[in-house]
Amino acid sequence: MQRRSLLLSALPLLAAPRQKLTPLSPQAKTEDWPGFLGPRHNGTSLETRLRPRFPAAGPPLVWEMPKGTGYSSPAIVGDRLVFLHRQGPQEIVECLHPETGDRQWQFAYPTAFEDRYGYNNGPRSSPVIADGRVFVVGAEGKLHCLELASGKVLWRHDLLQEFKVPQDFFGVASTPLALDGRLIVIVGAPGGPTVVAFDQKTGKQLWGAGKEWGGGYASPIPAIVHGQSRVFAFAGGESRPPTGGLICLNPATGAIDFTYPWRSKSYESVNASCPVIFGNQVFISASYKTGGAMLEITPDFKPKLMWTSPEFGLHFNTPIHQDGYLYGFDGRNEPDASLACVEAKTGKVVWRTNPEWMEKFTVGDQSREQQMSTYRGSLLRVDGRFLVLGELGHLLWMDLTPSGHKELSRSWLFAARETWSLPVLSRGLLYVVQHSRDAIKGSTPRLLCYDLRG
């Protein structure tokens, strides 16, 4: 049966009451989630003692907050959850209690951003928390450093204005990297710099690096390579002809070790999937008929191409590396998206699947049935398994190995398109962002907190 997009009638939904939390197991490992892709910048969590199966009614909803436009994920440190979204002519930074959703402070600033391709007009970058500070970048490149305890503005920059950067296809989307007292930002200024570092305390520019490529949509990723600290920036936004690629640099000085061009030949394309670094290897990928490339970094910090594959090109999500294999959703659009396992050593596609099932639901007084899939899903590796968030609001526990995939549990959180933000896990609670209206129950965009405590 041919897979179809979800086009259903809308009905109103009553907000769910706040649920009582399951106590954390004394043996449970927990951690903060201070920024995009988690504490290790690779979509993995060390948390344990999570609920291995979803109840029939789905994971318990602890709290929910109506939100405006945007594609951000929250960041969590201690008893502070920070979230960025837009309502009307303002981008708003919310600080909530992660267990209750109670607001602790709020900061707003004006915006007039409009997405020229008709996607929503909210922020794309996610907050970053480090050393008692919050760093947020809006869709127009307005960078703010706020005090985590109070929301007080400590310093700010208007990146587009200061670096004379024209608006890109979809606005500013790259999440900054907080590393060793520096805030590293992919700016993409014409003629350079491509990457900039600011002092976290003062906002003073420390260095600028690169002049070849525009901003792009991937976020800078740190790693230890050959015993040395490095940052990998995958740049490449709007340009004629389309250009972009990987930059390996020293975060202390901004000195560039190498650049490696990798970008679709299509003008209306971007580099949006973050680099994946393990050992002395780095994997990069792009959609729009581009695919993936695996590089080995030599001891003198030069790139050695191991392989390329047109069969594993991620659009905007980042694959997960585990035990010598990469797992991720290849494909540019809903109909051509598939979940694949790729051998990291050779680039061989070990298996590929389209997780599909029949979903029964009720609209008004009519019962319906429709074939569903994860489409361009997001992966989070945790507690020996994978959490999979599907593009239409499905949440799955899956076992992914080189031998194949196995669905362990599945729940439909909401029937909403554009479920593109990576879910966030901290202290046994899962945070999922619903970006569009629920086509069955009618709920509007929300930030939701679910109890996964075992």
Confidence of residue 20 (pLDDT cuts 50, 70, 90): confident
Residue 102 domain flag: no
Confidence of residue 269 (pLDDT cuts 50, 70, 90): confident
Task: Specify burial of residue 124 (Cβ count, 10 A radius: 0-12, 13-18, 19+).
Answer: buried
Structure-model confidence comparison of residues 120 and 158, the more confident one = 158
- Quote the strand ranges of 67-210, DSSP E: 75-77, 80-87, 90-96, 103-110, 128-130, 133-137, 142-147, 153-158, 177-179, 182-186, 195-199, 205-209
Confidence of residue 13 (pLDDT cuts 50, 70, 90): very low
Cβ contact 133:147 at 8 Å = yes
Q: What is the pLDDT of residue 22?
A: 94
Number of H helices, E strands in the chain: 1, 35
Confidence of residue 438 (pLDDT cuts 50, 70, 90): very high
H or E stretch covering 63: strand 61-66
**Parallel/antiparallel/unpaired status of strands 356-363 and 349-353:** unpaired
Q: What is the pLDDT of residue 3?
A: 34
The conformational region for residue 59 under phi > 0 = left, psi -120 to 50 = alpha, else beta, is: beta
Residue 382 pLDDT > 70 = yes
Residue 211 pLDDT > 80 = yes
Reading the block at residue 411, the tokens are: 């729940």
pLDDT mean over 288-305: 97
Give the C-alpha separation, 198 to 175, whole Å: 14
Residue 105 domain flag: no
Q: Using one digit for the tens of pLDDT, what is the confidence trace for 300-344?
A: 999 999 999 999 999 999 999 999 999 999 988 888 899 999 999
Reading the block at residue 386, the tokens are: 């994978």
Residue 116 domain flag: no
Q: What is the pLDDT of residue 18?
A: 61
3-class secondary-structure state, position 285: strand
Residue 16 pLDDT > 80 = no
Reading the block at residue 447, the tokens are: 């930030």
Confidence of residue 5 (pLDDT cuts 50, 70, 90): very low
Give the count of domains, the chain: 1
Residue 74 domain flag: no
Identity (one letter) of the amino acid at 13? Answer: L
Give the C-alpha separation, 430 to 50, whole Å: 10
Residue 100 domain flag: no
pLDDT mean over 381-392: 97
Residue 153 pLDDT > 90 = yes
Task: Specify burial of residue 358 (Cβ count, 10 A radius: 0-12, 13-18, 19+).
Answer: exposed
Residue 128 domain flag: no
**Taking the mean position of all CA atoms in its chain, how far away is CA 395?**
16
Residue 89 pLDDT > 50 = yes
pLDDT mean over 67-92: 98
Q: What is the pLDDT of residue 7?
A: 31
Q: What is the pLDDT of residue 6?
A: 34
Q: Using one digit for the tens of pLDDT, what is the confidence trace for 160-190?
A: 999 999 988 889 999 999 999 999 999 999 9
Residue 88 domain flag: no
Q: What is the pLDDT of residue 359?
A: 94
Question: Which residue in 169, 146, 171, 149 sits closest to 159, CA to CA?
Answer: 171
Give the C-alpha separation, 394 to 208, whole Å: 41
| Lowest-confidence region among 6-20, 76-90, 141-155 | 6-20
Q: What is the pLDDT of residue 347?
A: 98
**Residue whose entry in the numeric block shows the structure tokens 């607001």:** 103
Question: Which residue in 120, 107, 166, 178 sits closest to 140, CA to CA?
Answer: 166
Q: Using one digit for the tens of pLDDT, what is the confidence trace for 391-408?
A: 999 999 999 999 999 999
Residue 443 domain flag: yes
Domain of 35, in residue numbers = 8-54+354-454
Q: What is the pLDDT of residue 333?
A: 81
Question: Which residue in 267, 275, 182 sits closest to 234, CA to CA?
Answer: 275
* CA distance to 34, 125, 147, per residue, from 104 (Å): 17, 21, 12
- Chain mean pLDDT for the chain: 93
Residue 365 pLDDT > 90 = no
Identity (one letter) of the amino acid at 412? Answer: W
pLDDT mean over 129-145: 98
Reading the block at residue 343, the tokens are: 């051998």
Residue 118 pLDDT > 90 = no
User: In this structure, which long-range contacts are made by residues 47-50, counting pairs with CB atoms below 8 Å and at least 24 apart in sequence?
Assistant: 47/382, 47/383, 47/425, 47/426, 47/427, 47/428, 48/383, 49/24, 49/25, 49/383, 49/428, 49/453, 49/454, 50/382, 50/383, 50/428, 50/452, 50/453, 50/454
Q: Phi, psi (5° rounding) for residue 265?
A: -80, -5
Which strands form 177-179's sheet, in the order they lie side by side?
177-179, 182-186, 195-199, 205-209
